[in-house]
């Protein structure tokens, strides 16, 4: 990496986060405690709509806890999209259930609701849509379909803070569980971390217990409540998914900035849209009218007649100091998923076609208009 390399993603961490983490370290309470509790309260208040927020050490952990709380187990099927990160599907296998992969809608790059309907069997228990790149999936139709068939819905909202759908923030829709990610390159970060959100008190209770070893109260409670501090009960073989106060301290400060981050990402997307107009580049789908796109990713496709293959195009951009990525190598091409479930590209023509021509351009809140101009100039050069 040269010093003037423009990376694909960068976290936006200020002095506020640094001071908050230092304060957490000095407080003497570094694991789950008052900061984690405050972060949960702040996050629930940010979303509104009477949701409960449960902080975990990754979105993957949250997705696992969510499905576990929904009662997914061996013999069940869970329908999800092939055009996602493997975490969305691996949690289904953690519980001994089987993912059923479906294609995406070319106009949103999110799960194709008609394909979901065709994939429902008597074994289907739940659906996991992904708000790809930060653009909401068609949740109105998906939730109606789930209701009609008595299926549970868990949203993988790793990209979707602060995305809206039908004017409502993702996290406050009528699904059973929504899970956000605070991984390093997401729209806000705690280094590693995630948040499970639900309005269902039973799911929330189960997720809190399973988050920490199946203990009926967390460690902070034990040292502050009136019952003897040494007493606890194990009610299930739980996991170790709690968020540290160090991470939560960072999350509290990042959350305060998340609207400003989103405004900046929206501006960067608008600069890209303008700079790429007229080039053989298919620009990304926008949110539905009136809705917010979080712009976690700015995903383009090479148009027919671009005259260069995707892999070579990325190499040419890299040679000019521009970092890019690909979201995603679809799961139907990944050896484990392909071989375990007998998946072929022909089963997912939309995802496959997008994969062959897609790349994600640098996108983060610290980007300036000059950075976008530089990427656009590099793209013109790479197309030559
Ligand atoms: C990042 C991501 C995850 C996993 O998030 P972690 O916090 O890293 O566990 C899950 N699903 C999607 C779509 C993601 O992009």
- Does the CB atom of residue 59 touch ligand 1 within 6 A? yes
Catalytic positions are 186
Same domain, 224 and 271: no
Q: Whose CA is nearest to atom 10 of ligand 1?
A: 87
Same domain, 281 and 228: no
Average pLDDT of the residues in 312-327:
98
- Which atom of ligand 1 lies at the shortest distance from residue 132's CA? 13
- Does the CB atom of residue 9 touch ligand 1 within 6 A? no
Domain presence at residue 196: yes
Q: Whose CA is nearest to atom 2 of ligand 1?
A: 158
Ligand 1 centroid distance, CA of 208 (Å): 20
Q: Using one digit for the tens of pLDDT, what is the confidence trace for 26-42?
A: 999 999 999 999 999 99
Same domain, 351 and 284: yes
Quick check: 261 and 12 in contact, CB under 8 A?
yes
Cα 242 from Cα 27, distance rounded (Å): 19
- Which atom of ligand 1 lies at the shortest distance from residue 181's CA? 7
- Does the CB atom of residue 194 touch ligand 1 within 6 A? yes
Domain range holding 359? 258-383
Q: Whose CA is nearest to atom 1 of ligand 1?
A: 158
Domain presence at residue 329: yes
316-341 burial string, b = 16+ CB within 10 Å, else e?
bbeeebbbbbebbebbbbbeebeeee
CB half-sphere exposure, 226, CA atoms < 13 A: 0
Domain presence at residue 8: no
| pLDDT bracket for residue 2 (50, 70, 90) | very low
Ligand 1 centroid distance, CA of 161 (Å): 13
Ligand 1 centroid distance, CA of 88 (Å): 7
Measured on CA atoms in the order 252, 255, 256, 257, is the torsion positive or negative? positive
Q: Using one digit for the tens of pLDDT, what is the confidence trace for 214-228?
A: 998 755 666 666 677
Average pLDDT of the residues in 286-297:
98
Q: Using one digit for the tens of pLDDT, what is the confidence trace for 151-161?
A: 999 999 999 99
When divided into structural domains, the chain yields a total of: 2
Domain presence at residue 89: yes
Q: What is the pLDDT of residue 369?
A: 97
Quick check: 31 and 169 in contact, CB under 8 A?
no
Ligand 1 centroid distance, CA of 94 (Å): 16
- Does the CB atom of residue 132 touch ligand 1 within 6 A? no
At 368, which CATH number? 3.90.1150.10
Q: What is the pLDDT of residue 227?
A: 72
Q: Using one digit for the tens of pLDDT, what is the confidence trace for 169-216?
A: 999 999 999 999 999 999 999 999 999 999 999 999 999 999 999 998
Quick check: 63 and 78 in contact, CB under 8 A?
no
Same domain, 321 and 365: yes
Give the domain-ending residue among 255, 271, 305. 255
- Does the CB atom of residue 56 touch ligand 1 within 6 A? no
Ligand 1 centroid distance, CA of 282 (Å): 25
Q: Using one digit for the tens of pLDDT, what is the confidence trace for 71-84?
A: 999 999 999 999 99
Domain presence at residue 227: yes
């Amino acid at each position: 990496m040269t010093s003037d390399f423009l990376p694909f993603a960068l976290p936006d961490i200020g002095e506020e986060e640094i001071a908050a983490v230092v304060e957490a370290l000095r407080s003497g309470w570094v694991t789950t405690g008052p900061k984690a509790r405050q972060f949960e309260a702040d996050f629930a208040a940010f979303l509104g709509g009477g949701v409960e927020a449960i902080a975990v050490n990754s979105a993957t952990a949250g997705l696992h806890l969510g499905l576990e709380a929904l009662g997914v187990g061996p013999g069940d099927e869970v329908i999800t999209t092939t055009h996602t990160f493997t975490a969305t599907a691996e949690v289904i296998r953690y519980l001994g259930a089987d993912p059923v992969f479906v294609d995406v809608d070319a106009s949103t790059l999110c799960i194709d609701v008609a394909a979901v309907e065709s994939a429902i069997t008597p074994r289907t228990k739940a659906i996991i849509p992904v708000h790809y790149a930060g653009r909401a999936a068609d949740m109105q139709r998906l939730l109606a379909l789930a209701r009609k068939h008595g299926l549970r819905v868990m949203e993988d909202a790793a990209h979707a803070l602060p995305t809206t759908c039908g004017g409502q923030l993702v996290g406050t829709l009528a699904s059973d569980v929504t899970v956000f990610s605070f991984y390093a390159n997401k729209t806000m970060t705690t280094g590693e971390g995630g948040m499970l959100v639900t309005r269902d008190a039973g799911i929330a209770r189960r997720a809190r217990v399973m988050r920490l070893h199946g203990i009926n109260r967390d460690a902070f409670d034990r040292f502050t409540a009136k019952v003897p501090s040494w007493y606890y009960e194990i009610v299930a073989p739980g996991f170790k998914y709690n968020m540290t106060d160090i991470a939560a301290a960072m999350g509290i400060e990042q959350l305060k900035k998340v609207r400003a981050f989103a405004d900046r990402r929206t501006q960067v997307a608008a600069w890209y849209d303008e700079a790429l107009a007229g080039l053989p580049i298919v620009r990304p789908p926008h949110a539905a009218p009136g809705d917010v796109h979080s712009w976690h990713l700015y995903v383009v496709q090479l148009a027919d007649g671009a005259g260069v293959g995707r892999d070579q195009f990325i190499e040419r951009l890299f040679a000019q100091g521009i970092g890019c990525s690909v979201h995603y190598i679809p799961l139907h091409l990944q050896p484990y998923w392909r071989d375990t479930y007998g998946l072929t590209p022909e089963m997912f023509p939309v995802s496959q076609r997008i994969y062959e021509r897609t790349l994600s351009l640098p996108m983060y809140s610290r980007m300036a208009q000059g950075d976008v101009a530089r990427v656009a100039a590099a793209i013109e050069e790479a197309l030559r």
